[in-house]
């Protein structure tokens, strides 16, 4: 696990930052909608936790996609939008 954390530290830090911002926004929105502090905190922890996990894997997929383009460019490949 320690090796995994060291190998992915920039993405993990970015994910943690995103997670904190998302919890804050989600809590404010949930409280505004429900008017219930307990419900707001419950919702603000549940949904961003799932989003943070999805975000991490999304970032890794984009990194792999970028690496693949540079190393295995096909002569028939067209640029995006072309």
Supply the pLDDT for residue 73: 47
Supply the pLDDT for residue 27: 92
Per the structure, the complete domain to which residue 40 belongs is given by 9-64
- Our count of domains for the chain comes to 1
CA distances from 14 to 42, 55, 59 (A): 23, 10, 10
Model confidence at 5: pLDDT above 90 = no
Whether residue 6 contacts residue 20, with contact meaning beta carbons closer than 8 Å, is answered with: no
Whether residue 52 contacts residue 18, with contact meaning beta carbons closer than 8 Å, is answered with: yes
Q: What is the pLDDT of residues 26-76, one digit of tens each?
A: 899 999 999 999 999 998 888 878 887 898 899 999 999 888 665 544 445
Is 69 domain-assigned?
A: no
Is 75 domain-assigned?
A: no
Is 56 domain-assigned?
A: yes
Supply the pLDDT for residue 19: 83
Mean pLDDT of 3-23: 87
Is 33 domain-assigned?
A: yes
């Amino acid at each position: 696990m320690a090796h995994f954390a060291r190998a992915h530290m920039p993405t993990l830090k970015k994910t943690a930052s995103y997670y904190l911002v998302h919890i804050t926004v989600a809590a404010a929105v949930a409280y505004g909608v429900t008017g219930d502090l307990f419900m707001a905190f419950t919702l603000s922890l549940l949904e961003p936790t799932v989003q943070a996990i999805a975000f991490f894997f999304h970032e890794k997929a984009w990194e792999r996609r970028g690496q693949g383009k540079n190393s295995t460019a096909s002569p028939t490949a067209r640029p995006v939008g072309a």
